A and B are shown apart, each in its own frame.
Chain A
Amino acid sequence: GNSVTQMEGPVTLSEEAFLTINCTYTATGYPSLFWYVQYPGEGLQLLLKATKADDKGSNKGFEATYRKETTSFHLEKGSVQVSDSAVYFCALSDNVNKFYFGSGTKLNVKP
């Protein structure tokens, strides 16, 4: 079956630190992979996506590469800001348009 596993939080970093949030998946077929971000009191927003192996999604300084050989889609950012504090969800979508989400990782960035 399809599933997503991401690292548990919370992750606490100082401003300008390097961020990695690990995400691995299990899927039948060839899924699309996503990172969503949820700011306090708001809905989930698409941060970036990749639709095939070796694709790199990027947005707002965040990036993630679809690695089929390691079934991973780790989220990275070179220098985090306080405004990046949020909950981050890794997700996959199969060919029938169903989404499977990870449990979310809360990121706290301190000034």
Chain B
Amino acid sequence: GAVVSQHPSWVICKSGTSVKIECRSLDFQATTMFWYRQFPKQSLMLMATSNEGSKATYEQGVEKDKFLINHASLTLSTLTVTSAHPEDSSFYICSAQGLAASYNEQFFGPGTRLTVL
């Protein structure tokens, strides 16, 4: 099946620094990638949708200047958490939808746990 990887799997950073998380589709081309955030014991919340070569679409309440998303190629999207603060600590999960997939099938990465000290 389709495989999506994320890097790093976990990261610890100091408050005020920026952190970049990569999401890659390993064996298929992803026209659309999605970024989710998951708090402990809570649902995955969609943060933004990114299409290759265009600007990401952010969900209401998500700060686009804080969570920078780039989808520069059909196999890579990046999420940069700028000037991270402890409240940004969370589990970030990406998913990717391929060219040949049905419109409602997404393949998920294993997630990245961010801890901001």
Question: Could you tell me which A residues sit within 8 Å of B by CB distance?
Answer: 4, 32, 36, 41-46, 49, 51, 89, 93, 97-104
Contact = CB atoms under 8 A, between A and B. Distances in A.
Contacts of B104: 32, 49, 51, 93, 97
A98 B44 CA distance: 12
Nearest to A45: B108
A44 B6 CA distance: 12
Nearest to B106: A99
Given A42-B110, A46-B105, A101-B43, 19 more contacts: A4-B43, A41-B110, A43-B6, A43-B109, A43-B110, A43-B111, A44-B108, A45-B108, A49-B104, A97-B32, A97-B97, A97-B104, A98-B46, A99-B44, A99-B106, A100-B43, A101-B36, A102-B43, A103-B42
Contact of B44 (A41, A46, A93, A101): A101
Given A98-B46, A99-B34, A43 B41 contact: no
Chain A interface secondary structure, helix, strand, loop or mixed?
A: strand
Contacts of A89: 44
A89 B108 CA distance: 13
Main secondary structure of the interface of B (DSSP, over half): strand
Nearest to B59: A98
Interface size, B (range): 20 to 34
Contacts of B84: none
Contacts of A99: 34, 44, 46, 95, 106
Given A32-B104, A99-B34, A103-B41, A43 B93 contact: yes
A42 B3 CA distance: 11
Interface string B1-18: 000101000000000000
Contacts of B36: 101
B93 A44 contact: yes
